[in-house]
Structure 1
Amino acid sequence: MSPVPELDLTDPAVTSDPFAAYGAAREQGPLAKLTGPGFPPMWVLTRHAEARAMLTDQRFALSEASYQRPEVPEHCRPYLRTMQEMEGAEHARLRRLATPAFAARRALDFRPEIEKVVARYLDALPAEGPVDLLAEFAQPLPMEVVCALVGVPEAQRPRWHEYGAAVVQVSGDGFAAAVPGIIDSSRTLVAHPDSAMLAHLANAGLTETESVALVWQLVLAGQTPANFIANSVETLLSHPDQLDLLRAEPDRWPGAVEELMRWCGSQLLTIPRRATEDVDLHGVRIRRGEPVTASIAAANRDPRVFADPDRFDVRRSAGAHLGFAHGPHFCLGASFARVQAEVALTALLDRFPGLRVLEAKRVPDPGTWRLAGLTVAW
């Protein structure tokens, strides 16, 4: 067997073009190793079939360490243990109870509310550019949708935006202060539900702790569409032939969102799992406790699954992408994320048909394909 390729997560070649870097590793074999100063070594699956297999393999489990945060007040800690830290029967039970609240039909029913939120943000944009579309539209939009989804009163939403911006930083004084703000507010919302989402969770049999934890999970994961929406705007404007096709055939938009998720989805790697036992994986001995992830960037451009994978094509059937992960931990809110992205992109591009990018600044982030700013004009 040939040596397992290694990728340094601090290498500018990896951070500036992860699709090429992970793709080169994929063509050497299905398994690579991620290294770099400040990063613990981690195994990564680079091919689509092998990545899917690992994500459903019970020998690889998610860690429960993320909710054990000493800087968080004691009363908040039980609520930080979300489904992302659960496996087996416990996870299956909670997933079964919560899934109907996130069904595609419910996302479509909620679409008019998303349209209202999107319209408010578009109305607030200046009549002429330039404007940072990331800061003024893509970033605040998902948090406002989360607030609408769980019934946060209008007067409290500015504070929730502050909390949301702090918790995505994962650490620091702002994070520690924001956690009780989100948790305590969520406990009040759950006790007196004023949204279809929370009412359904209560009727489904979730406990107070489980419902509040799900709101916490929504605050964390529900903000990720910001990067995807910004990436999608940049992609569509840099592929005018594809944008023209969508304008001529708007029925293609749902499929286009899937292709955008395949092509420029913001998550480059899945949440790492740890081997629960020694595992022989594609000729390599993975020791118990070692972290293993899947490269979404490489799997979504695997030529074994997608023909001409480095071409962006809104006519493609791209539903097999791993942008929402796979297996038991497939993104619970995928249907809402799809609807939100479609509404945001179609409304923006309809409102500003002459939209053009003036500057797109990328962040050298080994785990996320994201922009620091997207300056546009029309």
Structure 2
Amino acid sequence: MSVIDLGEYGADFTANPYPYYAKMRENGPVHRVRTTDGAEVWLVVGHEEARAALNDQRLSKSPSVLGMTMLDEELIGPNLLVLDPPDHTRLRRLIAGEFTGRRVEALRPRVQRLTDELLDAMEPAGRADLVDALAFPLPITVICELLGVPAADRDAFRRWSNEIVAPSGAEPEREAIESLAAYLGELVEDKRAAGPEDDLLSALIAARAEDGDRLSLPELRGLAYLLLLAGHETTVNLIANAVRALLTHPEQLAALRADPGLLDGVIEETLRWEGPVETATYRFSREAVTIGGTVIPAYEPVLVSLASGDRDPERFADPDRFDITRDPRGHLAFGHGIHFCLGAPLARLEAQVALRTLLDRFPGLELDPESGSLDWLPGMLMRGTRRLPIRW
């Protein structure tokens, strides 16, 4: 099988990968590709095949299958994205209770207050970068408050986070991970010394399973790392992508304004049409695995394209159309199977509050025509733009 070099498509692929994914799907659901950062991997692009691959235990999440470790695991500690059962089962059980629907819903008043404060600060200027003014500060404040990260440390955390999810180079990425590892280690030790407090990290430090099992220091660092990154980076892009989709589809925005009950449809359709995660994190074949008629040999890296799977016409009619009235159930934006995103209820809640309040406050909301071209996030992990200039 020939290798498709995605890097050859340049900035066009970063800005709009969907036509390239469509062409790949026409030639089969699985391809050998060279990613935009130069890695050769197997890429799953069909919806049915992607859904199956996300829950296939023959595809390990642990790079130890290849005799290696991921940089963040090496420097910070294990997290749910690089573990298989029974280790994954154990860690997920210890934290799942903190992300129940009831606990997340209890955060709604705080999310609403934060949103109102951010919009109060935005309003006088008549224009803003939505990412800087709302889409970033809302989820980062929520997750930092949940974990007990001091407000003064959040700007530093943003710099590290941006470098990790969209690296500018190998050395800056390593430096960001090393800085975050040191910071999280100190944070965990400070909280251990301070004793029980009313935040998630303190709860994880104190958490015990029925058999007395507790999280180790590397596990606590790894979980805090995952929750901080996944707890805000994805929601930043969900909020910004939803606003951009509505403002570039005025008939859909008009439909929402006429029927506010369509808000959940906006969120789910954004997750399908322009979800915040383009490809799921790496999987590794433990043995030869046949997917969509293609044999992936043992000990090979595999990426599952959530973005491509959710634009597959075999699953969604007219998939390139943004339609907030469609039934998008079955989309893959939060993954599938045992690695389904624990934070999905929190992301949906924050998006609901942010979108409803923004549109209510600014009925004349539109993209800022003086903003210039969009600056898309590099790489194939996150799907979104660094800025979203708007005015009202």
Answer yes or no: same fold by TM over 0.5: yes
Residues 258-317 of structure 1, C-alpha deviation per residue, up to 9 Å, x if partnerless?
A: 111111112111111111122333343322221111111111011222122111111112
> Contact 2:78/2:223 (CA < 8 Å) preserved in 1?
no
Structure 2 residue 276 is matched with structure 1 residue 262? no
Residue 180 (structure 2) aligns with: 178
Q: Say if 1:10 and 1:146 are closer, same or farther in 2 by CA, change over 3 A.
A: farther
- In the alignment, residue 385 of structure 2 is paired with which amino acid? L
For 2:89 and 2:177, the matched residues in 1 are separated by 30
For 1:126 and 1:16, the matched residues in 2 are separated by 30
The 3-state SS of whatever aligns with 1:362 is coil
For 2:271 and 2:36, the matched residues in 1 are separated by 30
Shift of 1:190: 5.7
Equivalent positions of 1:85-124 (< 5 A) are 85-124=82-121
Q: Of 211, 230, 239, which aligns to 1:221?
A: 230
Q: Say if 1:345 and 1:247 are closer, same or farther in 2 by CA, change over 3 A.
A: same
Q: Say if 1:9 and 1:267 are closer, same or farther in 2 by CA, change over 3 A.
A: farther
For 2:182 and 2:90, the matched residues in 1 are separated by 27
For 1:208 and 1:117, the matched residues in 2 are separated by 33
Residue 46 (structure 2) aligns with: 47
Q: Say if 1:166 and 1:262 are closer, same or farther in 2 by CA, change over 3 A.
A: same
Aligned residues: 366
Uncovered stretches (5+) of structure 2, i.e. residues with no partner:
64-68, 165-172
For 1:246 and 1:265, the matched residues in 2 are separated by 19
Q: Say if 1:353 and 1:97 are closer, same or farther in 2 by CA, change over 3 A.
A: same
Residue 58 (structure 1) aligns with: 57
For 1:158 and 1:327, the matched residues in 2 are separated by 37
For 2:325 and 2:203, the matched residues in 1 are separated by 36
- In the alignment, residue 195 of structure 1 is paired with which amino acid? D
- Which segment is superposed worse, 220-229 or 281-290? 281-290
- In the alignment, residue 153 of structure 2 is paired with which amino acid? R
> Contact 1:62/1:86 (CA < 8 Å) preserved in 2?
yes
Q: Say if 1:4 and 1:281 are closer, same or farther in 2 by CA, change over 3 A.
A: farther
Q: Say if 1:46 and 1:5 are closer, same or farther in 2 by CA, change over 3 A.
A: farther
Shift of 1:208: 5.0
Residue 365 (structure 2) aligns with: 355
For 2:44 and 2:352, the matched residues in 1 are separated by 30
Shift of 1:50: 0.5
Q: Say if 1:62 and 1:42 are closer, same or farther in 2 by CA, change over 3 A.
A: same
Shift of 1:243: 1.6
- Which segment is superposed worse, 50-59 or 7-16? 7-16
- In the alignment, residue 253 of structure 1 is paired with which amino acid? L
- In the alignment, residue 109 of structure 1 is paired with which amino acid? A
Q: Of 235, 242, 246, which aligns to 1:232?
A: 242
Structure 2 residue 339 is matched with structure 1 residue 326? no
Shift of 1:128: 2.6
Q: Say if 1:198 and 1:369 are closer, same or farther in 2 by CA, change over 3 A.
A: closer
Q: TM-score with structure 1 length normalisation?
A: 0.89
Shift of 1:335: 0.7
Residues 22-54 of structure 1, C-alpha deviation per residue, up to 9 Å, x if partnerless?
A: 122112211122215741211111111111111
Identity of aligned pairs, percent? 34
> Contact 1:275/1:291 (CA < 8 Å) preserved in 2?
yes
Q: Of 120, 144, 148, which aligns to 1:147?
A: 144
Q: TM-score with structure 2 length normalisation?
A: 0.86
Q: Say if 1:11 and 1:193 are closer, same or farther in 2 by CA, change over 3 A.
A: farther
> Contact 1:9/1:34 (CA < 8 Å) preserved in 2?
no
Residue 83 (structure 1) aligns with: 80
Q: Say if 1:36 and 1:222 are closer, same or farther in 2 by CA, change over 3 A.
A: closer
- In the alignment, residue 221 of structure 1 is paired with which amino acid? A
Residue 282 (structure 2) aligns with: 272
For 1:83 and 1:113, the matched residues in 2 are separated by 27
Shift of 1:200: 5.3
For 1:114 and 1:204, the matched residues in 2 are separated by 29
Q: Say if 1:376 and 1:92 are closer, same or farther in 2 by CA, change over 3 A.
A: same
Structure 2 residue 387 is matched with structure 1 residue 373? yes
Q: Say if 1:177 and 1:262 are closer, same or farther in 2 by CA, change over 3 A.
A: same
For 1:353 and 1:193, the matched residues in 2 are separated by 45
Shift of 1:126: 4.6
Residue 168 (structure 2) aligns with: none
> Contact 2:115/2:354 (CA < 8 Å) preserved in 1?
yes
Shift of 1:362: 3.0
For 1:189 and 1:241, the matched residues in 2 are separated by 50
> Contact 2:277/2:306 (CA < 8 Å) preserved in 1?
yes
> Contact 1:190/1:208 (CA < 8 Å) preserved in 2?
no
- In the alignment, residue 9 of structure 2 is paired with which amino acid? D
